[in-house]
Amino acid sequence: MLEKFLEYYRPRKGQINGALIGLLVAILVLLIGLLRVGFMAFCVGTGYYIGKRVSEDKEYIRNLLDRVLPPGTYR
């Protein structure tokens, strides 16, 4: 059963994942509203961006805080 599903899923992975994400977004919009879903998407995107930057550069947070806060504030 699983092999049959994977045989169907693998060549259509993008379409199936896209449809499931679209369904999830539609359900969220209907349940909690467009602005809240937009805010959630913004937060997820921001979290992804910061997480990606931290994984690439371990000093990213420290450098970001140096630019935003007065020097020595967080130490």
Name the band, by pLDDT with cuts 50, 70 and 90, for residue 72.
low
30-69, pLDDT tens digit by residue? 999 999 999 999 999 999 998 898 888 888 888 888 888 8
Please list the alpha-helical segments (H only) found in the chain. Answer: 2-9, 13-32, 34-56, 60-68
Q: How many CA within 13 A on the CB side of residue 22? A: 6
Query: By the 8 A CB rule, do 59 and 65 touch?
Result: no
What are the residue ranges spanned by the domains of the chain? Answer: 1-32, 33-75
Average pLDDT for residues 7-33, to the nearest whole number? 94
pTM of the model: 0.65
Question: How long a stretch of residues is the chain?
Answer: 75
